Structure 1
């Protein structure tokens, strides 16, 4: 069976790996020069900076995928557990670390905001664990359910669990039950941005991210782009063929089912099945052909997720003890998201900084000897702020970068650039990922129905399947990887059923010289 995978993002890579391991003839088409999709690197001066996802959680997803393909994840990528999940700053002297050790996090919160907030954190963690436990099997691991399917899978005894995950309450409102300190609501509300959403519109179910992080965050040696490379390497060893620098121009549909993939240079690659790992909006907007467009529904502009402005630098960092992951919060979270909702860049943004040369050994303000190879040498930093999914002019982006650096200086962090920074704005992401309009996470998770609007792996066109962060179960490296797993399993299941439907029939010669089953 010939399968073509469009896009070498993590969803497409996982699908290719599983199908190649199952013995299918798999060809992966990728318009970029390397695998990874959004898990990418950019050149800054004489080094490369990870410019995409930087936090690796839900390790079990990739471990299971590698194991199912006869491999060990830890033998292919170096993984180091993070002791500091993230450092958070609001201004001079207002710093809080969340730690892998929950007892240590409780003590840190007590020291930062008092015993009442510590107790609220305990209750919040317990509820986040309940939400995750309720949704893991029927939603994260399974094919896309409808609300009725989810209720049916939960059963009568599980209806109470579904109600307690507060699907009709916003995350911001739910956090008020646990935290009186607005800084802690800001900290845990930021988890909505992990799927490109606003904490003021996303459902309370997203508190499950807190549980996911408490279960472990890992640093990947070489960055998450190296993880993508490891999956691609294993898929190639299992027989998958990769064609980089190759752009798909359309999905050929003949007789109502998939027939192949047309390339920009006019070549057609015949296929019995296609897994499309492009943004689902590219499919719906007809960028892969008019016939294929009926396989997906358009994503209205008002329902798109957040985009970002990223600022990759090679710089000397002084004045603030950066951890590997540090978040510098804005002075007014509601005002920040109100500006984004109105289509403007925030004038006082929350800034996430990934210091890619640092380890967890930097725990204090004084001893910086283990923070970077040499405090006098430049280090690789990714600075990111949330932004609307729309293009902006050069002066607007310049103002945004100035506001970003101003927010860092408010906490004492000064950056001295050693090379020309590389800034990427929503319009650039729209070019990198056609059809996305710059939205990095597909459809925003706003409202309780949003997750059910994401398409599943199967489409109404036989032989065409979907994977990636814009389809079920959602964005983020582990979830997108899971989408590739579900797409491959769906294809293999359909193939098995098709075979079974003809099993047991034999050809019988007739006097007319033909064969009938």
Structure 2
């Protein structure tokens, strides 16, 4: 056993993953979490006999979770089981079009060509292009610490350098999709993937068209016991590895000796450590835990545009809807107007695109008999001081009107349990600056390269993981950030 100690700030999925990787290396690891339970954004809500996954609801690239168990010499299935989805998502358009995104490529193509004017060639070209972007970026950017231009002078880097035009970074996602497809419904279908990292398809680079490959090309999955089972499985493994969890334990300060991290102060107590890893939002890490060292703050990074936030209604519904599946999207009639309202006006659009996740479709015990647990989410701007009370009230009414019309049912009369999460709550509960879910936005071709690195450039022995740093937000990228940190250490 190594005599070295590592302290992790925050028990989000990246913090737990980093702790596991260091424990396997022989480090003594201790995690300090401000909340009463682990998970960060990947939390759960239990109310009125309904269970909801409070945050992330889509699982892709589950091999990154399996890796953690295998690294510790364990069988993943002993801790965490999941199934691949045959139906990835159901889509409902304002004009009445209904599409089912099947995992099977042939069935998916048949569905699209039957219900839209799109052709198979366009769908296949998009799938091939998305896969190519992934193959070029994954080994160089997603799976490695960002090392600037020198990253390009490796075998994988040179391959990327020679194929830069295939990354499609000089035009927006929307421009790329509009050229790819002739049916506006399919343009909207693929533009939606910008929301997977809190960005605007009318501003984000076409490189983000890599995202559909992760879902449609590599598969979408569901944990048999719900998304929070990812956390419970990892926490169980961490405990077996001797990792100590401290809840209700907000870190007051990262302690420095000159420009070297030497530990943390928690509730007034000094905890010495050889390594400090922050799974806390990078903005709060500097402005709260390193507030006494302003000269060490990466000012340009901290001033970047933040990602979008979310407004979530957790509704217990006193009915089952056979036309809905695990994942469902109800599109707005004017996508451009919706994103302009979010990003330019910093307000909630009156006809928002609505996402509904219903885990009880695959895990019936998440709702009482005859009922469903609806996780109802819309994209909203980050919290920059808006008065949210009235917009949230109006959004609730608009969502209910929209859903009731498209489902031919007065949904408002079916709600028997309700909880609400708005950007203020997200910021307070998860310490995500401005309630932005994914840290910085990716609304420029250089944004991905401007994310905070996983290792501090100015403070020795200080590392960062999670959605606010490289390589980005979402469960797979958070897990990769933990891997990058462990390799750097």
| TM-score category, normalised to shorter length | over 0.9
Selected match of 1:228 from 223, 228, 231: 231
Is this contact kept in 1: 2:199–2:442, CA < 8 A?
yes
1:357 is paired with a residue whose SS is helix
Shift of 1:171: 0.4
1:403 and 2:398 equivalent? yes
Q: How has the CA–CA distance of structure 1 residues 255 and 422 changed in structure 2, closer, same or farther, with 3 Å as cutoff?
A: same
Q: How has the CA–CA distance of structure 1 residues 449 and 325 changed in structure 2, closer, same or farther, with 3 Å as cutoff?
A: same
Selected match of 1:29 from 23, 29, 32: 32
Deviations 1:387-413 (CA, angstroms, capped at 9, x unpaired): 000143322211011112222123116
1:4 is paired with a residue whose SS is strand
The residue that corresponds to 2:253 in the other structure is: 250
Deviations 1:264-283 (CA, angstroms, capped at 9, x unpaired): x2111111110000001112
1:352 is paired with a residue whose SS is strand
Selected match of 1:480 from 478, 481, 489: 478
The residue that corresponds to 2:443 in the other structure is: 446
Q: How has the CA–CA distance of structure 1 residues 10 and 440 changed in structure 2, closer, same or farther, with 3 Å as cutoff?
A: same
2:332 is paired with a residue whose SS is coil
1:402 is paired with a residue whose SS is helix
Shift of 1:303: 0.6
Shift of 1:257: 0.8
Shift of 1:232: 1.5
Aligned-pair Cα RMSD in Å: 2.2
Deviations 1:262-319 (CA, angstroms, capped at 9, x unpaired): 11x2111111110000001112324444238725446566610000000001113466
**Unaligned runs of at least 5 residues, structure 1:** 361-370, 492-517
1:436 and 2:433 equivalent? yes
Q: How has the CA–CA distance of structure 1 residues 167 and 145 changed in structure 2, closer, same or farther, with 3 Å as cutoff?
A: farther
After TM superposition, the structure 1 stretch with the greater mean CA deviation from structure 2, 226-235 or 427-436, is 427-436
Distance in structure 1 (CA, Å) of the matches to 2:228 and 2:405: 32
The residue that corresponds to 1:311 in the other structure is: 313
2:486 is paired with a residue whose SS is helix
Shift of 1:182: 1.1
Deviations 1:315-373 (CA, angstroms, capped at 9, x unpaired): 1346661110000000000000010011111110000000111149xxxxxxxxxx999
2:470 is paired with a residue whose SS is coil
The residue that corresponds to 2:375 in the other structure is: 382
Q: How has the CA–CA distance of structure 1 residues 317 and 209 changed in structure 2, closer, same or farther, with 3 Å as cutoff?
A: farther
Matches for 1:146-165 after TM superposition, within 5 Å = 146-147=148-149, 149-150=151-152, 154=156, 156-165=158-167
1:82 and 2:85 equivalent? yes
The residue that corresponds to 2:360 in the other structure is: 357
1:209 is paired with a residue whose SS is helix
The residue that corresponds to 2:407 in the other structure is: 412
1:201 is paired with a residue whose SS is coil
Q: Of the two, which has the highest radius of gyration?
A: 1
Distance in structure 1 (CA, Å) of the matches to 2:294 and 2:273: 14
1:303 is paired with a residue whose SS is coil
Shift of 1:93: 4.3
The alignment covers a number of residue pairs equal to 479
Q: How has the CA–CA distance of structure 1 residues 145 and 177 changed in structure 2, closer, same or farther, with 3 Å as cutoff?
A: farther
Distance in structure 2 (CA, Å) of the matches to 1:375 and 1:447: 45
1:182 and 2:184 equivalent? yes
1:20 is paired with a residue whose SS is helix
Distance in structure 2 (CA, Å) of the matches to 1:181 and 1:267: 61
TM, length-normalised to structure 1: 0.88
Distance in structure 2 (CA, Å) of the matches to 1:323 and 1:403: 22
**Unaligned runs of at least 5 residues, structure 2:** none
Distance in structure 2 (CA, Å) of the matches to 1:307 and 1:164: 30
The residue that corresponds to 1:290 in the other structure is: 292
